[in-house]
């Protein structure tokens, strides 16, 4: 009688020699399932996909959206930014690789990672594969802030392109000829993936091809240097592995230095904006001046400096950066508005009028453009023109103190005290501690009362 080779039970004569009994076969099948699940959960590719997905789901809960997130939320969760990253928050080089912009973004990236990751695990081993993934992600993030400057970028695509780049030499240079021939189809598929996605990123706006290329080049270099296949299993190539990792880290340091230099102007501008918001105008102007010196051809840097100087009533100093802004960006209305304010303060009324009119034409919805235009016209004796401009300013900014005050004063000067009082009262409500306005309102109200009491 045949017996089960596993438990020794006697089997029917119909059983083949060496076959397992039904009980042992069922037990083995039940043991295989959790074994396969354990192997799946221990795969670095699956772990990386889970991490990316968890971050995405947490962002969905925070942002109350699944198809896209705001720039503020992306930055809050670690997006890569030329200004913030090269300004000292270098951890964003890595965290940005686990942040995605929306459902389609993460779905495509995770599908690509799943398709390529298992083969990279097989060739490089799990430990080397994880390090390779992280290094390629950092390489892609660095390329993004070096190439694109101060732009914002997120996603695992740099790391995924790096894995694809590492697979190309690993397959092509594989020591086992038979296995290399068997993997030829994968080599073609990976190469097609790289070419197609780079071409797609070149024609579709919003895709960070700089990160793709940075990750790809990092992966190509490490794919040549890192031991793979039989060489790795024999424990060979460990010195090359360590050496190439150290060389790549040195290249990362050099790239970070270049990124910091490239984004120096934007870093200073960010510091200027932060100082201005905190009320430190002197520091804001100092940073803005350095930003304008570093990037003299950037109209936004020049405008920031000119605007800060106007806010501190340093009108003569504000002229140069504001004039530079109008030369560099001739259709930017706010630059003409601020230039008009600086010229008005210096009594350059003719040029101020021309700039105010241009500012109002370019920025008709900006209350400041009409407010400054009204002030210039009034200074030049054009009371009707001033009245029209200030009326538009009040309509655009009904809760503006200066707008209501100047419009009310203009109406008083024109003898329309009754019509002026509501605007002056609104200005008082906005700044009840303004003593001069309080005194004026008392006098005007008293005159109105006296006029009303006369027979």
Q: Which residues is 80 bridged to in the sheet?
A: 153
Residues of the chain above pLDDT 70, percent: 84
Q: What is the mean pLDDT of the chain?
A: 86
Higher pLDDT, 246 or 201: 246
Out of 96, 153, 157, 228, the active site residue is 157
Dihedral-angle region of residue 206 (phi above 0 means left; psi in -120 to 50 means alpha; beta otherwise)? left
142-182 per-position pLDDT tens digit: 999 998 877 789 999 999 999 988 988 887 766 556 555 65
CB 333 within 8 A of CB 352: no
CB 141 within 8 A of CB 85: yes
255-269 per-position pLDDT tens digit: 999 999 999 999 999
User: What is the reported pLDDT for 277?
Assistant: 92
User: What is the reported pLDDT for 35?
Assistant: 53
Average pLDDT rounded to a whole number, residues 418-431: 90
Residue 448 has pLDDT above 80, yes or no: no
Nearest 10 degrees: CA dihedral of 445, 448, 452, 453?
70
Q: How far apart are the first and last CA of the chain?
A: 135
User: What is the reported pLDDT for 453?
Assistant: 46
Average pLDDT rounded to a whole number, residues 190-210: 77
Residue 292 has pLDDT above 70, yes or no: yes
Residue 213: CB atoms within 10 A of its CB come to: 20
CB 147 within 8 A of CB 158: no
Q: How far apart are CA 372 and CA 390, in angstroms?
A: 8
Catalytic, 212? Answer yes
Domains of the chain: 1-42 (no CATH), 44-262 (1.20.1540.10), 400-455 (no CATH)
With tokens 């200073």, the residue in question is: 268
User: What is the reported pLDDT for 345?
Assistant: 94
Per-residue DSSP letters for 98-127?
Answer: G--SSHHHHHHHHHHHHHHHHHHHHHH-HH
User: What is the reported pLDDT for 455?
Assistant: 47
With tokens 């210039």, the residue in question is: 376
Out of 100, 105, 150, 212, the active site residue is 212
Which two structure tokens, joined as six digits, stand for 152? 């914002």
49-68 per-position pLDDT tens digit: 999 999 999 999 998 889 98
Residue 388 has pLDDT above 80, yes or no: yes
DSSP reduced 3-state for 68: coil
Q: How far apart are CA 450 and CA 231, in angstroms?
A: 104
Q: How far apart are CA 379 and CA 270, in angstroms?
A: 37
Average pLDDT rounded to a whole number, residues 346-371: 94
Average pLDDT rounded to a whole number, residues 80-104: 94
């Amino acid at each position: 009688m045949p017996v089960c080779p596993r438990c020794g039970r006697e089997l029917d004569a119909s059983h083949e020699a060496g076959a397992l009994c039904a009980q042992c076969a069922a037990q083995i099948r039940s043991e295989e399932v959790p074994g396969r699940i354990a192997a799946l959960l221990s795969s670095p590719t699956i772990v990386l996909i889970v991490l990316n997905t968890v971050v995405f789901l947490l962002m969905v809960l925070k942002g109350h959206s699944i198809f896209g997130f705001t720039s503020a939320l992306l930055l809050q969760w670690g997006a890569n930014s030329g200004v913030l990253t090269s300004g000292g928050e270098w951890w964003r080089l890595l965290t940005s690789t686990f942040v995605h912009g929306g459902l389609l973004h993460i779905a495509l990236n995770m599908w690509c990672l799943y398709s390529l990751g298992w083969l990279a695990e097989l060739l490089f081993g799990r430990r080397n594969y994880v390090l390779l993934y992280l290094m390629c992600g950092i390489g892609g993030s660095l390329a993004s802030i070096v190439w694109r400057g101060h732009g914002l970028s997120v996603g695992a695509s740099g790391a995924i392109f790096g894995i694809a780049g590492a697979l190309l030499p690993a397959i092509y240079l594989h020591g086992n000829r038979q296995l290399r021939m068997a993997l030829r189809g994968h080599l073609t598929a990976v190469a097609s993936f790289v070419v197609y996605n780079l071409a797609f990123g070149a024609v579709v706006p919003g895709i960070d091809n700089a990160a793709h290329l940075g990750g790809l080049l990092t992966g190509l270099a490490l794919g040549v240097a890192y031991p793979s296949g039989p060489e790795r299993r024999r424990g060979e190539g460990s010195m090359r592995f360590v050496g190439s990792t150290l060389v790549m880290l040195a290249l990362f340091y050099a790239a970070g230095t270049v990124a910091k230099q490239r984004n120096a102007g934007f870093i200073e501008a960010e510091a200027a904006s932060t100082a201005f918001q905190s009320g430190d105008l002197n520091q804001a102007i100092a940073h803005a001046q350095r930003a304008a010196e570093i990037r003299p051809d950037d109209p936004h840097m020049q405008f920031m400096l000119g605007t800060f100087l106007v806010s501190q009533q340093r009108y003569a100093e504000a002229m140069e950066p504001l004039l530079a802004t109008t030369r560099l960006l001739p259709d930017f209305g706010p630059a003409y508005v601020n230039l008009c304010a600086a010229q008005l303060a210096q009594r350059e009324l003719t040029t101020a009028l021309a700039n105010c009119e241009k500012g109002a034409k370019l920025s008709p919805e900006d209350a400041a453009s009409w407010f400054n235009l009204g002030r210039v016209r009034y200074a030049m004796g054009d009371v009707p023109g001033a009245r029209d401009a200030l009326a538009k300013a009040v309509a655009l900014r009904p809760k503006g103190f200066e707008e209501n005050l100047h419009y009310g004063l203009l109406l008083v000067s024109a003898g329309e005290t009754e019509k002026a009082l509501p605007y002056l009262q609104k200005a008082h409500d906005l700044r009840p501690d303004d003593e001069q306005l309080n005194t004026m309102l008392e006098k005007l109200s008293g005159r109105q009362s006296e006029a009303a009491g006369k027979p």
